[in-house]
Amino acid sequence: MMRSHSIRPQTVRTWYRIHKWSSLICTAFLLIACITGLPLVFSEQLEAILEPHVAPAQAMPGASVANVDAMVATTQARFPSLHPYNVYWDDDEPRVFVNMSPSDRPKDGDIKQAVFDVHTGKLLELPQDKFSILGFLLTLHSELFLGLPGELIMGAMALSFVISLLSGALVYGPFMRNLRFGTYRANGKPRTRWFDLHNLLGIVTLTWAVVVGATGVMNALSTPLFGLWRAQVMPAILAPYQGKPQPTHFSSVDAAVQTVATALPQMKITSVLFPNSVFGSPQHYLVWTAGRTPLTSRLMTPVLVDVQTGALTISQSLPWYLRLLEVSRPLHFGDYGGLPLRILWALFDIALIVVLSSGVYLWLVRRKAPLEKELNRLVAADEKSVAQQIEVAR
């Protein structure tokens, strides 16, 4: 005996309710994320316009690299009340940033920075503390100015968004069962036109939206995930140092960089965190490295160098969950494919803003007859049709 595989009305109604409430829960937060994310997609281009800086001198290929210790000493002389926090290298220009801080866990505004030419070691500028529109948008986008609680809230909203997308895709079929794919009834009533536009843009942007939503969840979990990694790795590394005083004299950071470069010739140095009891080790330089190819440049490998002896203590790959995080970060803003991919990301972002806005509109002007009844009618009609076809086949 043949059985119908059509979706039961009760199942469709359940998925519709999941879609409706998961969408309503996250819509306001998603609109904030989409609106702030649109300019952030072009952050590199906007930064050059909104935040101009002193450019380093042109250098010939293979030019020598200046001593990092001298850069740190120069910065220390400029900010004698602070201590070295970290050093990092610009991905796009031959510049080195040296940051000074009053503590191992600096607050907003605590960091003082000096920028140097990689090759000449010349001090290019001391950036002044000033309002950054891109920094404002990024903080609002990622944590709502609430710190870790804000990150977790946005992560929960991103997860709710993914649920709404998947449930919406399951509901899309019954709603469009008697219409062609991508139908837009331009002559219909306003609610009908908004309904068709909501469905059309929703299904077109589905895959992209799921990717951005899922990577948004991963990005929101970065702080606890890195905290988990440190809790798993650091106790064993620091066990031999138990009882020893925290060092006050550091070996050459430049020598530490050279040690890591020699040990990992296939990697490039991206940053060095000075001894730090919160985000690293109080007994080591934490040297971050990345691959040299477009793909491996997103895969980071941390290296610990003893701050007193200058010896390489440990070098190991990050666990799978942090590698997944590092790969997902650039995908969230379309950083993998240059300007063309950024433009595509921006177009999808605008489409998603329309989807979210139209969803709010449809909820506010919903008809007296609930959509669940319409779903039941459509699915029931389809089941009746299938049943008749089975009867004829007998």
Contacts of 394 (CB under 8 A, 6+ apart): none
**Residues recorded for the chain:** 394
Find out whether 303 and 263 touch, Cβ atoms under 8 Å.
yes
The pLDDT, as a whole number, for residue 178 is 63
The pLDDT, as a whole number, for residue 388 is 47
Residues 151 and 216: their CA atoms lie apart, in Å, by: 10
> What's this model's pTM, rounded to 2 decimal places?
0.83
CA dihedral 189, 192, 194, 195 (to 10 degrees): 170
Three-state SS string over the chain comes to: CCCCCCCCHHHHHHHHHHHHHHHHHHHHHHHHHHHHHHHHHCHHHHHHHHCCCCCCCCCCCCCCCCCHHHHHHHHHHHCCCCEEEEEEECCCCCEEEEEEECCCCCCCCCCEEEEEECCCCCEEECCCCCCCHHHHHHHHHHHCCCCHHHHHHHHHHHHHHHHHHHHHHHHHHHHCCCCCCCCCCCCCCHHHHHHHHHHHHHHHCHHHHHHHHHHHHHHHCHHHHHHHHHHHHHHHHHHHHCCCCCCCCCCCHHHHHHHHHHHCCCEEEEEEECCCCCCCCCCEEEEEEEECCCCHHHCEEEEEEECCCCCEEEECCCCHHHHHHHHHHHHHCCCCCHHHHHHHHHHHHHHHHHHHHHHHHHHHCCCCCCHHHHHHHHHHHHHHHHHHHHHHHC
The pLDDT, as a whole number, for residue 108 is 82
- How is residue 109 written in tokens? 């505004």
The pLDDT, as a whole number, for residue 233 is 87
Contacts of 356 (CB under 8 A, 6+ apart): 27, 30, 31, 34
Residues 104 and 297: their CA atoms lie apart, in Å, by: 27
* Residue pLDDT tens, the chain, 394 long: 344 445 566 777 788 889 889 998 999 999 999 999 999 999 989 998 998 899 998 888 778 899 999 999 999 999 999 999 999 999 889 999 999 999 999 988 899 999 999 999 999 999 988 889 999 999 999 999 999 999 999 999 999 999 999 998 887 776 666 666 667 777 888 888 888 888 888 888 999 999 999 999 999 999 999 999 999 888 888 888 888 888 888 999 999 999 999 999 999 999 999 999 899 999 999 999 999 887 788 889 999 999 999 999 988 888 999 999 988 888 888 887 688 899 999 999 999 999 999 988 888 876 544 555 555 665 565 555 544 443 444 4
**Spacing of C-alpha 224 from chain mean position:** 14
**Spacing of C-alpha 34 from chain mean position:** 13
The pLDDT, as a whole number, for residue 7 is 55
Find out whether 363 and 339 touch, Cβ atoms under 8 Å.
no
Find out whether 113 and 85 touch, Cβ atoms under 8 Å.
no
Helix axes 43-50, 133-143, angle to 10 degrees: 150
For the chain, the farthest-separated pair of C-alpha atoms sits apart, in whole angstroms, at 92
The pLDDT, as a whole number, for residue 389 is 43
The pLDDT, as a whole number, for residue 387 is 46
Burial label, 2 (beta-carbon count in 10 A; 0-12, 13-18, 19+): exposed
Would you list the domain boundaries of the chain?
A: 9-44+138-220+336-393
Which of left, alpha, beta for 62 (phi over 0: left; psi -120 to 50: alpha)? left
Find out whether 154 and 143 touch, Cβ atoms under 8 Å.
yes
Contacts of 193 (CB under 8 A, 6+ apart): 184, 185, 186
Phi and psi for 287 in degrees, rounded to 5? -100, 120
